[in-house]
Structure 1
Amino acid sequence: MAHDQQQSKWKGKASAELAGPKAEQVWPLLEDFFGLNKWFPTLTTCLGVEGINGQPGCVRYCAGFKTPVNGGDKIVNWTKQKLLSIDPTELSFSYSIIDGNVGFNSYISTVKVVPGEDGCNIHWWYEVEAVEGWKLEDLDAFIGSGLQVMVMAKRMEEALHASSNQKPSLVYPS
């Protein structure tokens, strides 16, 4: 986990490598801004609440994840996230958290799919004001393992592999 600690802003990056699937196969899964719960291991809810999915300005409501500061608490964390930009040519998008109960202020994240030699990589950059009650390591853990970019990537890899191995079903007229 790479990170840079400034006095008022924390910055970092998480990455995951997918062996096999090409960037063009993974991108449609990520560009579905309202469908993050399909891939994100601890997210139980992801609903579009404003705008058109995949268009800048749309807003999603995400809930169900836990942060490192929750400990044993039964708090359901939630955020509203606004899509700032999306570039299907560069296979990237940026979003910000505009509301929530996790204490993130000025959170902006950029997700990019990068072609690799034998598959692709997902890179997830973030920047946020220092979070009260947290250490930078907490945020790194949340982005890297809390968000579980690796698990998310693995789920995508498995779904793409399964869909490419399925044989078309033949329907014969009766």
Structure 2
Amino acid sequence: MENNWQERWEGKVTAKLRNATKEEAWPLVKDFFNLHKRFPTLATCYGIHGSNGDPGCIRYCGGSSIPSNASGSVSWSKERLLAVDDVDLIIKYDIVDGNVGFKSYESTIKVLTHDDSSGCMLEWSFAVDPVQGFALEDLLNK
């Protein structure tokens, strides 16, 4: 019997925010329904269930820089906020529906102090089942 199981893709990227403290960056990260305000490659993002920032709420994201699906339609996803940690400045979310091919996608965003104490760092990590037509590097370079 052939084994079709593949390991999950896992990745982590960081970005330094030079002119923002952790306390200034956190409200923007926690603003789950307004991701499009921080990522200009995302056409829209808005809440479709629950209250913004409450675990269990769901947002719709559409028109991302990830290529359109095979039918040529605009890429979209529905993402559920799983956890918010106001002490350690962490949010966790997953994708519950979409047309890009993600299966079992989970992500964590952390706001961290930068090593040299100027500004802060955003750390985005994810785990996802491999997606046909993509390479792990495609996700890391977006």
Q: One fold, TM greater than 0.5?
A: yes
Partner Cα distance (1:114, 1:24) in 2 = 10
SS of the equivalent of 2:35 reads: helix
Compare CA radii of gyration and give the structure with the larger one. 1
SS of the equivalent of 1:80 reads: strand
| Alignment match of 1:110 (pick from 108, 111, 124) | 108
Identity %: 47
2:136 aligned partner? 136
SS of the equivalent of 2:77 reads: strand
Partner Cα distance (1:18, 1:134) in 2 = 29
Partner Cα distance (1:40, 1:25) in 2 = 17
Structure with more of its chain in helix, by fraction: 1
TM-score under structure 2 length normalisation:
0.89
- What displacement does 1:134 show? 1.6
TM superposition outliers: structure 1 runs of 4+ over 4 Å: none
What runs of 5+ residues in structure 1 fail to find an aligned partner?
Answer: 1-5, 147-174
CA contact (8 A) 2:51 2:57 kept: yes
The residue correspondences of 1:24-173 to structure 2 (distance < 5 A) are: 24-67=23-66, 69-70=67-68, 75-116=73-114, 117-141=117-141, 146=142
TM-score under structure 1 length normalisation:
0.73
Alignment-mate amino acid for residue 111 of structure 1: I
- What displacement does 1:140 show? 1.9
What runs of 5+ residues in structure 2 fail to find an aligned partner?
Answer: none
Show CA shifts across 1:78-103 (max 9, x none).
Answer: 00000000001111100000000010
- What displacement does 1:74 show? 5.4
Show CA shifts across 1:45-77 (max 9, x none).
Answer: 11100011101000000001132x549x95311
CA contact (8 A) 2:68 2:100 kept: no
CA contact (8 A) 1:33 1:53 kept: yes
Number of residue pairs the alignment of both structures matches: 135
SS of the equivalent of 1:52 reads: coil
CA contact (8 A) 1:66 1:76 kept: no
Change (3 A) 1:90 1:58: same
